[in-house]
Structure 1
Amino acid sequence: MRPSAALPPVIRIIDGTFYRHHPSSASTAGQANPPLFNNLKFTLPSATDPPNHWYVLGPSLSGKTTFLQLLRGEHLCFGPEARSFPYLSTDAVPRKLRVPGKAIQYVGFDNNGFSASAIKPAHLSARYESKRVDTDFSLQDFLLGNTELNALKSDEDKPNPVLVDRVVRDLRLAHLLDLPVSFLSNGQGRRARIARALLRVPEVLLLDEPFMGLDPPTVAGLSPLLHSMARKASPRLVMSARPQDPIPDWITHLVYLRGDCQVGAMGEKEVVLEGLRKYVRGVWNGTRKEDKEMAVHNIEHMGKILTAKGIQGDPLGGEEGQAEDEIPLAADDQLSKPLGEPVVEMDGCVVQYRGKVALGSWKQQIQGEEKHGLLWTVRRGERWGIFGPNGSGKTTILSLICSDHPQTYSLPIKLFGKTRIPEPESATLPLTIWDIQARIGHSSPEIHQLMPRNLTVRQVIENSWADTFRTKAKMDSERKGKVDAVLGWFQAELNPAYLPSSSSPTLTATETYLQWADHYMFGELSFSAQRVLLFLRAIIKNPDIVVLDEAFGGMDDVVRNRCLLFLEHGDSKMYATNEDGSETIVDREASKAGNVKVRGLTDDQALICISHVREEIPGCIREWICLPEANSGEAARFGKSRGPLGKDEKSWRDIWGMSR
């Protein structure tokens, strides 16, 4: 039943200003505690006619998560009566949902797995090797709330079976119900967390970047499902996203957040987009001064629309990318470059659990011989992209390469020319997991979950040279110089207290200049900064294989582009801003002086990347493999793009089998 238009709004904020800590608290003296969203006005109606579907957009550190949190009653509000939830006090709401903490559910994807009490992270290999009774419950138990040993639960707390069946069917989770939650892929886990929140029958569901890390077909399928929920107010939705992310076509209202946790624009979608379009063009033609907290380089990528047929339309800055015939082909000398020695060799890999095949459920003809499973070779100097639907086995491939998966011992796999098992005719010892991980740099959502939150910024990067997350890194003067170089290069992204005026230290002041890296802990950084830190940890030691699994998810365009530039050139180059606002890649003074500490990818290194967003794929990637839907029987497809996938939409659509 649709709520009556006469009922009061679910959320009402009139001239509210918010703080993370009480502004007069003695315990916060000296801590940054700026006012958030000064004099905010926001209303979420209980009625569904006319529709009110909100999308909160903003760059990194703009406060998207904070904005969603304050909608459910978190953070201090001044004045105290400026924020209210009048609809929750009406008879239209069940008694158990009459408090914001229960009626308004928040689902974020930057936390440790499913929740602190639901699943405890383990070392990557442990997720496959044994069943832990206290944490490795099935997805069905997770959805039903059966995640506590000896838990007391009344019948009224159990989800309605009819609702469970509908949610499981709508979110395509039925075939996963018996799997332990630790076996779910990143995308499957996101759908599971949304399902868990829906089974609590909330009045409002806050989704923090719900499309991040999902493959294009899944995003195209999930958006209409969310629209159906919002249209029926079952539940009402408020979602957040980055500026460059497409806006679902059913969204009616936008909030654009400035870089200083204030609202830059709010209102009906078309009105907000037109206002921001005029702002961008005004700055470009010199009739309007740019606000540093409303950076044009963030806003100009907004405006693309997500439809049932895919992403359509142009961003606010105009047409994006290059036409098909404008994309430069790979140079002849690149195509004819001698191939390096193999670093990964898979000769028919099939991974299965309890009789269910998770990877390699296909047969193919190779030189007249029928082969079963994945056949794939990665050589030094090659740049590979691994694509495929969520749950198709992409992360499983990486776990085999990184030797976290126990089936690495039994499958026909060679790493750096050796197998994991002793060979009778060989006089050399087999590779240990420590040998392998010392030669691989790895950034992924799983690493993000496992990284100890109480390590300092410096310790996280130095951990690249440690055997485990907690052991002491083996450092020398050269390695310390590399760490100092990347901390200085990425200070704006990593230092929460960064001020541009402090960006050019003297050599003698370097130690003082970088003291912040020994002060701030990993857990204190924003999600974007944490991802930058893990990216640097993966590449700083110049490993034989660099593995980037959704490494740039959660970053805005500027931060991501700096990371991609660093991946290719190290600290030898930088972006310089021209008078017209455009950016050019130039040599840094350190490069001119021959003082480069960290170099970009070399011909001796292999790169393997997983991403569902083509702009996040390094421009050097040409080779690709696209895995089929699990257990579909279809074979993996291999190919080569004509140019950088970030600019080659045709190749990107070919990979996913999507027509324009």
Structure 2
Amino acid sequence: MKIPRIGISRHHIRHYGTSRNSSPPPIILISKESNQPNGNAFYRHHPNSVHAGTSANPALFKNLSFQIPSFSSTPEHWAIIGPSNSGKTTFLQILSGQHLSIPQKARSYPYLESDDIEKKDYSLRVPSRAIKIVGFDGEQGLGAQAPQSAYLSARYESRREDTDWSVLDYLKGNTELNPSQDVDGNKIDNATLERVIKDLRLGDLIHMSVSNLSNGQTRRARIARALLGNPEVLLLDEPFMGLDPPTLLTLSPVLRDLADASAPRLVLTLRPQDPIPDWITHLMLLKGHCEAPYSGPKEYMLQNLRAYVQDHLKMPISSMVEMGRKLTALGIEEPVVKGHQSTVPNLEANKVSERTRQPAVPLSRDGYMLKDTEQRKFGDALVEMEGARVAYGAKAVLGNWTQEVDGESKDGLWWKVKQGERWGIFGPNGSGKTTILSLICSDHPQTYSLPIRLFGRSRLPEPGQLGISIFDIQARIGHSSPEIHNHIPKSLSLRQVLENAWSETFRGVPKLDATANARIDACLRWFGEDLRSGGVPAAALQANSRPSWADELLFGGIPFSAQRVGLFLRAIIKSPDLVILDEAFSGMDDGVRDRCLLFLAHGESKQFTYFNPDSEIMERRIVESEISKSGQVKMGGLTEDQALLCISHVREEIPGSIREWICLPEANTGQPARFGRLDGPIEGNYERWNEIWGMNQSGA
């Protein structure tokens, strides 16, 4: 089946009002006029400039036709969906006026040139003033207007520096050390400020330091800051990445209210695995590498997902099985595709269609049986917390509860992590998950004074035993997180990032031996297609060749998804005693993520294979790799001597090995943390996910 190209052309432009002349013009209009024989395109540099001759300067979104109405009698809310490196961010930049348009008249802003805008605010005639982009793809903190911590533990110090602005200062733009009066030439009226604070639920946070905000709180603050500029259009780049389910359910209605009121008009970008808000009416599906998109009404596009993925993206349907999930007020609904029960197997009932049935028992995406049949064995305790409580002055952020321990009520967090255990750490944004990890990694200064033992030793000396040093701790931990991502030098080569697992600091000299080098080469070869950024010949990825391409490839020069893969490999490559994966798979396409999950579980011994059971769909199976058959495996999966801690708010990013879980309460409620144990992968029964979050709605 072929999907017709339904990008909005000139004759498809919808007109509102009683006549064409009375309808308001679109606020953004990109059109391919009939007098443009070569079509239109966008460029980062002019094709005839010096920069175009010294760097890649491909044509972006050739022959694009698209518009955003200024006002609409019928809602028209857009979401742009595409995998990493497909051009989602570039598309938003083009809408905002960035990148050259050739011919120039192919992109215009008719409504911004109208008398209505002149009466409202003449400064809004400038696209960069009227159209704002807020991006979340790997960005930490609150952007250039707020300071960044100089080292990982800085955010946990009790003493605040003068430059640690409050959320209120940030919203008002008061983040200059020596500001002149009215720096930006714009003043925020109190009524608007109060409305935005209320709409984004920031009332309890306005006096908090921005460096103490959680991921979800930071996101709401950044959206609020953009709204205070009163833009006509707000472009949100992957706004749902990394949000916990409760925050996800509360942020979507806030965005819907803004979109319905056209104050401002919203355009979202989403990853294929992100749920699509039910209020979105139109979708644009990017083909990849800034190629011409396909777009149209949401229901039509979702009905034709399978044909689109296979005929146009040339991808197996299993690589985008999560696409089309709906985000409603009650939770996430799984997609229903015409002619098929769902785009994903009905794992909740442990049923698999005949097309996806494998000879053996159905497995999770990373090769685990959907129901455990054997009892696991655990070793020594690696982490012991016996009443941990973290507070800044009178404000407690972790452990401010009473917990049942062996039938007794005890104060604080009591928790042990043993060899062989696979823990999931869950809880709302701001509940203390990152604080727990900072205690384990000893980045938090209160680790010294709390009843915590790491690898059997206290941070401070005890009778007959020395305290464990920060270097001893971090040598036994492999850690991937957004915070690590934010601090690791982008000037390191890709190989140096993996070598850094054997170094004491980001810039330290690694202590490598033949085994370490063999592991590095094996990981680079295995993920070569995901890590390289074009120009690397396929011969360089052969099983027995040294991946020298990684010596010259700068970490900061590869796509965000590839950077995430590199940091994931850095965390597991030397088989540390404790692996910590904090949002490690966010920002990855689902296909790349699944390969990482399979590698975490089985290393080089297992791989995916694709086949055609019939002429309609492609399916995926897990098989033994050729490297395993030849006995050349250098990297294996997690062992019984290792422990795993995983933080994620997306159930598809939870490794199939996770069995133990802790769910932290919302901050300042005084409720204790909840603990539980699973009898199989979360993927095998979605009720397991609902149990963790305390959600009873089906499909939530």
TM range (shorter): over 0.9
Q: Could you tell me which of 323, 327, 337 is aligned with 1:302?
A: 323
Listed as ranges, the matches of 1:441-452 within 5 Å are: 441-452=478-489
Distance of 2:560 and 2:341 partners within structure 1: 29
Aligned to 2:627: 590
Q: Read off the aligned partner of 1:532 and give its amino acid letter.
A: V
Distance of 1:458 and 1:323 partners within structure 2: 39
Q: Read off the aligned partner of 1:637 and give its amino acid letter.
A: R
1:528 has 2:545 as partner: no
CA apart distance, 1:315: 5.2
Q: Could you tell me which of 388, 392, 395 is aligned with 2:427?
A: 388
Change (3 A) 1:153 1:212: farther
1:618 has 2:655 as partner: yes
Aligned to 2:335: 314
Change (3 A) 1:474 1:502: same
Aligned to 2:229: 200
Which is worse superposed, 585-594 or 228-237? 585-594
Q: Could you tell me which of 43, 50, 54 is aligned with 1:19?
A: 43
1:364 has 2:403 as partner: yes
Q: Could you tell me which of 134, 143, 162 is aligned with 1:107?
A: 134
Distance of 1:376 and 1:163 partners within structure 2: 45
TM-score by length of 2: 0.88
CA apart distance, 1:385: 0.3
Distance of 1:646 and 1:332 partners within structure 2: 16
Distance of 1:437 and 1:613 partners within structure 2: 27
Change (3 A) 1:114 1:154: same
Aligned to 1:259: 288
CA apart distance, 1:268: 1.3
Q: Is the 8 A contact 1:243 1:298 kept in 2?
A: no
CA apart distance, 1:131: 5.0
Q: Read off the aligned partner of 1:411 and give its amino acid letter.
A: L
Change (3 A) 1:303 1:365: closer
Aligned to 1:179: 208
Aligned to 2:24: 7
Distance of 1:487 and 1:315 partners within structure 2: 38
1:627 has 2:664 as partner: yes
Distance of 2:89 and 2:175 partners within structure 1: 26
CA apart distance, 1:610: 0.5
Q: Could you tell me which of 468, 492, 500 is aligned with 1:455?
A: 492
Aligned to 1:558: 591
Q: Secondary structure at the match of 2:403?
A: strand
Q: Is the 8 A contact 1:209 1:239 kept in 2?
A: yes
Q: Secondary structure at the match of 2:304?
A: helix
Q: Read off the aligned partner of 1:145 and give its amino acid letter.
A: G
1:36 has 2:36 as partner: no
Q: Is the 8 A contact 2:425 2:646 kept in 1?
A: yes
Q: Could you tell me which of 538, 548, 553 is aligned with 2:581?
A: 548
Aligned to 1:568: 601
Deviations, residues 109-140 of structure 1 (Å, cap 9, x unaligned): 12343213522242111222265646421111
Q: Is the 8 A contact 2:422 2:645 kept in 1?
A: yes
Listed as ranges, the matches of 1:237-248 within 5 Å are: 237-248=266-277
Which is worse superposed, 589-598 or 603-612? 589-598
1:644 has 2:661 as partner: no
Q: Secondary structure at the match of 1:39?
A: coil
Q: Secondary structure at the match of 1:548?
A: strand
Deviations, residues 564-620 of structure 1 (Å, cap 9, x unaligned): 011011122221222332122222222222221111100000000011100000000
Q: Secondary structure at the match of 1:542?
A: coil
Aligned to 1:606: 643
Deviations, residues 318-360 of structure 1 (Å, cap 9, x unaligned): 4234344428665443x2x332100001111111112111111
1:348 has 2:369 as partner: no
Aligned to 2:457: 418
CA apart distance, 1:477: 2.3
Q: Could you tell me which of 124, 138, 148 is aligned with 1:97?
A: 124
Change (3 A) 1:153 1:273: farther
Q: Is the 8 A contact 2:678 2:688 kept in 1?
A: yes
Distance of 1:421 and 1:315 partners within structure 2: 57
CA apart distance, 1:368: 4.6
In structure 1, the gaps of 5 or more residues are 284-289
Q: Read off the aligned partner of 1:651 and give its amino acid letter.
A: R
CA apart distance, 1:552: 0.5
Distance of 1:297 and 1:368 partners within structure 2: 47
1:469 has 2:506 as partner: yes
Distance of 1:573 and 1:294 partners within structure 2: 21
Q: Is the 8 A contact 1:626 1:636 kept in 2?
A: yes
Listed as ranges, the matches of 1:38-57 within 5 Å are: 38-57=62-81
Q: Secondary structure at the match of 2:523?
A: helix
Aligned to 1:217: 246
Q: Is the 8 A contact 1:361 1:630 kept in 2?
A: no
Q: Is the 8 A contact 2:372 2:679 kept in 1?
A: no
CA apart distance, 1:295: 5.3
Change (3 A) 1:275 1:587: closer
Deviations, residues 23-72 of structure 1 (Å, cap 9, x unaligned): 33343436433222110001001103221110000112111111111110
CA apart distance, 1:22: 2.6
Q: Read off the aligned partner of 1:6 and give its amino acid letter.
A: S
TM-score by length of 1: 0.93
Q: Could you tell me which of 126, 135, 142 is aligned with 2:170?
A: 142
Q: Read off the aligned partner of 2:25 and give its amino acid letter.
A: P
Deviations, residues 228-256 of structure 1 (Å, cap 9, x unaligned): 00111111100011112111110011100
Change (3 A) 1:488 1:441: same
Q: Is the 8 A contact 1:492 1:498 kept in 2?
A: no
Aligned to 1:376: 415
Q: Is the 8 A contact 1:276 1:299 kept in 2?
A: no
Q: Read off the aligned partner of 2:147 and give its amino acid letter.
A: I
Aligned to 1:286: none
Q: Secondary structure at the match of 2:508?
A: coil
CA apart distance, 1:503: 6.3
Listed as ranges, the matches of 1:118-197 within 5 Å are: 118-129=146-157, 131=159, 133=161, 135-154=163-182, 157-197=186-226
CA apart distance, 1:218: 0.8
Q: Is the 8 A contact 1:301 1:315 kept in 2?
A: no
Aligned to 1:287: none
Q: Secondary structure at the match of 1:174?
A: coil
Q: Secondary structure at the match of 1:263?
A: coil
CA apart distance, 1:260: 3.0
Q: Secondary structure at the match of 1:105?
A: strand
Q: Read off the aligned partner of 2:684 and give its amino acid letter.
A: K
Listed as ranges, the matches of 1:430-449 within 5 Å are: 430-449=467-486
Aligned to 2:106: 82
CA apart distance, 1:657: 1.1
CA apart distance, 1:457: 1.1
Aligned to 1:578: 611
Distance of 2:377 and 2:272 partners within structure 1: 41
Deviations, residues 153-190 of structure 1 (Å, cap 9, x unaligned): 42962322112122222222221222221111111111
Change (3 A) 1:434 1:251: same
Change (3 A) 1:53 1:441: same
Aligned to 1:273: 302
Q: Read off the aligned partner of 2:485 and give its amino acid letter.
A: H
Q: Read off the aligned partner of 1:104 and give its amino acid letter.
A: I
Q: Read off the aligned partner of 1:214 and give its amino acid letter.
A: L
Distance of 2:128 and 2:81 partners within structure 1: 23
In structure 2, the gaps of 5 or more residues are 1-15, 33-39, 352-368
Distance of 1:532 and 1:132 partners within structure 2: 34
